[in-house]
Structures are given as structure tokens and as C-alpha cells.
Chains A and B, each alone.
Chain A
Amino acid sequence: MAMLTPAETRRRVDASLRRRYRSEWLFRLYGLVSVLMGVGFLLVLFATIIGNGYGAFRQVFIQLEVQFDPAVLDPEGTRQQDTLASADYSQLVKTSLRTLFPDAEDRTSRRELNALVSSGGAFKLQKMLLADPTLLGQTRNVWLPADDEVNVFVKGRAPAVSAGSGDEGRRLSDRQIAWIQTLESSGKLEQRFNTIFFTAGDSREPELAGIWGATKGSFFMLFVTLFLAFPLGVAAAIYLEEFAPRNWLVDVIEVNINNLAAVPSIVFGLLGLAVFINFFGMPRSAPLVGGLVLTLMTLPVIIIASRAAIKSVPPSVREAALGVGASPMQMVFHHVLPLALPGMMTGAIIGMARALGESAPLLMIGMVAFVVEPPGGPMSPSTALPVQIYLWADSPERAFVERTSAAIMVLLAFLLVMNAAAVWLRSRFERRW
């Protein structure tokens, strides 16, 4: 091979340098563009969800002067608890609405007038009276939740916001709009913080629907999942990494664990349906079964993360432990596990976050049911947050649109908290020496 002259070498290096810098610059540009696009999409997503959903945190209330009329509630004067409980409270609402707006005389306009107040108003009056029976015969100013269409209209989300337009999609008549405007100008209609959304279970009426039931269901499920998947996953990872012999059986198990992590989650739902419900006869729609299914789904993720954490413990620490005469068990529990734990916990929390957002397997085990009552425990029927979002997104009422987005915001907030917990746990337990 002929030697290059120094000048020729320099020239060739120069030429190649320019090429290298150019491709480096291009690569950086690609990276920057993809990051910006990602951030952009995220911002659009957040803007849409928050823009749609923030309204759900406010709720329209109407102030009515309600007379707890004994003639309506307790015509026989028995004062029995169950008579009072089963009385027709909606009649009270109707009466006070009619005294407020005497111009509603025919049946249609009366029905339209009554539609302004949510059917939940009657329940509220019933609760008030049962809590304090001395109210009977008295008159009180009560704030009652407005109907969902009134909510939509007042928040300015209805297609026809002004009276008189002939839009097909309108749900309120001109008369109703006039009444609402009268109420608004006399200060008898206002928006308040929506406590119902955070304390109620599901409902067919959007203004009465809340996420508490679904949140409790999700909580019970994650509880079951965490307490099964974390110990099982960590134990499996330790065994496979530290104690399992190297043979074809263990290889098969390892390959299968890695494959399980990639199995579509709905398959786990089918498995849960077949095994837990059909074979073991566990109740449908129960968070316990949901938790078991999510355990199956999360287990491979935790095992893989834990094995990676164990693998990353430097071998010198193991040798040091064995060198002073620690048994393999002592080596694992005194030295390897403390060093691997932050990684394991991060893996577990990421697995749990995935489980929290999972809806497909829950559809298969009946957690998609319409459940009004928040569950009392892991055995009572329940939904979960993502399933609740799915249910609401499927509902025709317009007011469910903002509730769907609001529920997504709550779910995202939970995920954010869980990821923050992962970061915190990591820095808390990570030894920096």
C-alpha cells in the first residue's frame, strides 16, 4: 500500500469531516423535529381534554322556595319514616316552580318548566326532610341542581344560545330560555363547584353522575393487583435470576414471560372470564376479579423490570458477599435486593399505572355494567375509571361530553401522581454510594 502524503491525508480527513458534521447536524434536526411534534400533539391533546372537561367541575344550581307541604308529603298525618321516605317530593319542586313562574299554564309549558330542575332535586329534598323531620310544614330556600340541558345552555355549550333561532339541534324551547334568563337576572341561578361529580356514582342523568363509584372500583382493583403482583413478581424475578438452574425448562419459562408481556390485554380478560368467573364461580363485575385479571397482566411487566434491576447490581457486590461467607440467600437479601429495590418499585408502579388505565380486559369480566352505588368492597359490583369514561363517551346526552373529558382529567391526574410516586420512591431509596 502506498503511503499518503501528509497533505493528502489532511485533505481527505477534511472532506470526510464535512460529511460527518453534515449528517450529525441532520440527525440532530430530525431529533428536534420529532420532539417538537411529540410535544405539540401532547399540547393539543391536553388542550382538547381540558377545554372540553373543565366545565364539568362547575354545576348550575337553581334556588327555589320550597314548602314542605304536609298535605303532599304526609296526607294522613302518620309521620311514619317510610311514609315520608316514599312521598312525592317532585311535587314540591313542581309547586314551587309554578309559584315562581305562574305564566306556565298549559300542560306542555308546565312540563317544560318542570324540566328545568334535575330529578335529583326531589332526592335532595327527601334527604333534607329525613335528616330533619321538623322541616315538615315549613318553607325553605333550597339550591337544587339544574337539569343537564340547562347546564349545557348556561355554560354556553348548546348550539342555540339565543332565543328565537330555529336550530334543529336545540333542546330548550324559547320559553325555557326566557325562564332561565329571568332566574339568572334575579340571582336564583348560579354555578357552583360540582361536588356531585366527585361524590356520586354513575347515573343516567348527567347532572347526577359522578366518578366516585368508578374511582373506588379502580382503587380496590389496584389494591388487589399491587398486593398480588408485586410480591409474586419480585419473588419470581429473584428465583429466575439468582437460583434457577440453567436448563431448557427455565429457558421456556423465560421466553414465555417475555411473550406474556406483549399479549393483548383483552386476552387476559377472556382468561379471567373463563377461569375466575366460569370455573371458580367468582362474582361478575367485582373489583376482586378485575384485580386478579390485572395481576395476570401486570405480572410479566414487574418480573421483567425486577430482573433488569437485579441484573444491574454489580457482580463485585455479590462476590464480596460470597467471599466473606454469605449464603446465596443472604447475598440476595442483604446486598442484591436493597440495591435492586428502587428499580423494582419503579417497574411495579409503571405496571400499576398501565393497569389503572386498562379497560379492555375489564369489559370481558362484566365491569362495564351500569352501577349506581359506589362499591362497598372488592366483592361488590363496580366499574373502573377507564370503563366509566368509555360508558359516558357512549352516552347520547350532551352533558356527558364534558364529564367524559373531566373523568379523563381525573384519570390522568392519578397517573401523574403514580409516576411522581415512582420518581420519589426511586430517589428516596436509591443509595448514592
Chain B
Amino acid sequence: MLLMDKEPGFVPMRERGEPKGGAGEPAGKALAIADAAETDRISPETVGDITSKNAVIKVRGGNVHYGDTHALRNISLDVGRNEVVALIGPSGCGKSTFIRCLNRMNDTIESARVTGDFRLDGTDIYARDTDVVLLRARVGMVFQKPNPFPKSIYENVAYGPRIHGLASNRAELDDIVYGSLERAGLVNEVKDRLDEPGTGLSGGQQQRLCIARTIAVNPEVILMDEPCSALDPIATARIEDLIDELAQKYAIAIVTHSMQQAARVSNRTAYFHLGRLVEVGPTDKIFTNPSHKLTEDYVTGRFG
């Protein structure tokens, strides 16, 4: 059980006729089989300070249902500017579901129902008049498996600015592409072969290309869904360095299964368990002196 989040990380666009509980419902199955007694151990209240100075994302009482299963229960959490928030927890605990709520990627799952107050800079993400396209331009996302478009490296980065009309001419577009590749730490490796397919790069390079593609749109928040889980340690280290640099400018929420990674890159850490947010706090505190028993068990490797 509890393996849905480890599946190579996509949620299909729609449940293409598959039976319920397929990859489209990451947390559902795990919750359904969860031991009721264990659920009772989790206090409904989150331990620690959920707020953040300079909060860009403010979530209060967020709930997600996939059909009949309650995947996220009453989550409240802030993500602030220049801050990296790591979301950790056992598979199927709802961390991916949570960040997918922030750019409404869950919209593509038909059975998903999101309730609660999700705000980006004070505006309601789920309001009727919120434009999803604009929202996703402001809240970029990097996925678990590197997924460059089957186009050239240049086109991969230029696509976002082009559809959003961010560049008025070719020179500006070139600037955006070079700048994004530079900030993603990729420009030296690819500047002589921008016309080559993005899928021809190594896995780590592809993931940095995806990051360049995300920051080319100049978002305010970057969501990362286990960005290093398909990469080797060297590529992982490069991405982690990159996250450090990006944190100077963006608000970042990163889902990770590696507690070392959470400890290395994040300022705050949120521990999810069975659809609830158990504890939030400064990363040091979570890893050295957690307040909740479940958090302690998890970070000390007693389960999970």
C-alpha cells in the first residue's frame, strides 16, 4: 500500500475510462485502506506556525475529495516570498495533491473536488472569474519526470513567453531564452546547440531545461513535484543549488521524498500524514526537535 505517490509522477488528464482509484487519485487508495485507529492518532489541529511573513500563497481550510475519498483534510499553510517550503510525508499523504491545488492542475482530474480558501496574493485561486491560464503563468510547475516538449531546446524555453506574448520581438525573446537558461545553469552546456531536441539532453539537463521553461514565464511561485526523484546524485546536487538561487526571487514549494533534500534546500518544512498537515515549522526544528510524535517517527526513520 501507500505507493501511489511513487508512481512515475503524472496524473492523467482525465480518467480515460480507467477504473476509479487509478493513478488519477494519488491519495485515495491509501486513505481508503488506512487504519482507522492510526487516523485517530493524528490531531485535527496542525502543530506549529502555518503562517509566513510575505505570504504569497495563503491556504485556509483546504479540502480535496477524489470521488468518495477525502484526500486532503482541512489544510492551512502559507508559502512566502523568498522562501522554500518543503512538503514531506509518506506516499499517499497528499503533498502532491496539495501543490497541484495551487495551480489548479487538479482541474484536469474530473473526480477531484477542491474546497476551502486558496489565495495567491490575496486573490482567490478557485474563484469563478479566476483565469486558469493566467494563474498557471503566475504559478509555474516542475514535474517529477523531466518532460521537455519534443521540440528544440530554444523552442522549449520560448514556448511560454510566446503564448503569453511576453516578448514583442525576436531579440527580446532571445534575451528571455538566454536569461532563463542562464538562471537554470544550463546555458553553458546548450548554447551551441539550441536547435537540437530538448529530449536529447541527459535527465538532469532536461530537468534544468524544464526549470528554465518555467522561469521563462516569470512566475511568482514555483511548485516542484519531486523534481529530483528521477535523477542521479550529481544532477540532484545541481538542481538543489539551483533551488537555492531561485529562492532569492521566487516563492518555492517543493515536494520531496528525501529528508536530506528537504533539510538542505528548505527554510520551512511541512509534514503531511494521511491527508492531514501534521506539523509545520522551521526546517531545523522539524528535523532536530519535532513537536508531534508522528513527525518525530517519520524524520527519525521509524516509519514511512
In the complex the two chains form, is B159's CB within 8 Å of A334's CB? yes
In the complex the two chains form, is B147's CB within 8 Å of A324's CB? no
In the complex the two chains form, is B150's CB within 8 Å of A324's CB? no
In the complex the two chains form, is A316's CB within 8 Å of B143's CB? yes
Residue among A324, A335, A339, A431 making CB contact with B136, cutoff 8 Å: A324
| Any A CB within 8 A of the CB of B14 | yes
Q: Which residues of A contact B210 (CB under 8 A)?
A: 320
| Any A CB within 8 A of the CB of B108 | yes
| Any A CB within 8 A of the CB of B273 | no
Q: Which residues of A contact B108 (CB under 8 A)?
A: 318, 322
Q: Measured between C-beta atoms, what is the minimum distance from A177 to chain B in Å? A: 71
Q: Measured between C-beta atoms, what is the minimum distance from B215 to chain A in Å? A: 10
| Any A CB within 8 A of the CB of B133 | yes
- With A246-B110, A330-B163 known as contacts, the answer to whether A320 contacts B134 (CB < 8 A) is no
Q: Chain B binding site: helix, strand, loop or mixed by DSSP?
A: mixed
| Any A CB within 8 A of the CB of B217 | yes
Residues 110-151 of B contacting A (Cβ, < 8 Å): 110, 133-137, 140-143, 145, 147-150
Q: Which residues of B contact A330 (CB under 8 A)?
A: 163
In the complex the two chains form, is A323's CB within 8 Å of B10's CB? no
Residues 216-248 of B contacting A (Cβ, < 8 Å): 216-217
For A331, the closest partner residue in chain B by CB is B13
Residues 10-35 of B contacting A (Cβ, < 8 Å): 10-14, 16
| Any A CB within 8 A of the CB of B103 | yes
Bound CA–CA A326/B151 (angstroms):
16
| Any A CB within 8 A of the CB of B67 | no
Q: Measured between C-beta atoms, what is the minimum distance from A133 to chain B in Å? A: 68
Bound CA–CA A322/B216 (angstroms):
15
In the complex the two chains form, is A246's CB within 8 Å of B160's CB? no
In the complex the two chains form, is A317's CB within 8 Å of B149's CB? yes
| Any B CB within 8 A of the CB of A433 | yes
In the complex the two chains form, is A324's CB within 8 Å of B140's CB? yes
Bound CA–CA A307/B52 (angstroms):
47
Residues 296-337 of A contacting B (Cβ, < 8 Å): 311, 314-327, 330, 334-335
Q: Which of A320, A324, A327 has the most CB of B within 10 A?
A: A324
Cβ contacts A229-243/B at 8 Å (1 or 0 each): 000000000000010
In the complex the two chains form, is B12's CB within 8 Å of A325's CB? no
Residues 317-368 of A contacting B (Cβ, < 8 Å): 317-327, 330, 334-335, 339
For B210, the closest partner residue in chain A by CB is A320
Q: Which 4 pairs from chain A and chain B are nearest by CB?
A: A433-B197, A316-B147, A324-B160, A325-B137
Q: Which residues of B contact A (CB under 8 A)?
A: 10-14, 16, 103, 105, 108, 110, 133-137, 140-143, 145, 147-150, 159-160, 163-164, 197-200, 210, 213-214, 216-217
**27 contacting pairs across A/B (C-beta < 8 A):** A246-B110, A315-B11, A315-B13, A316-B147, A318-B13, A318-B108, A319-B10, A319-B13, A319-B105, A320-B143, A321-B149, A322-B105, A322-B108, A323-B136, A324-B159, A324-B160, A324-B163, A324-B217, A325-B133, A325-B135, A325-B136, A325-B160, A325-B163, A326-B133, A334-B163, A433-B198, A433-B199
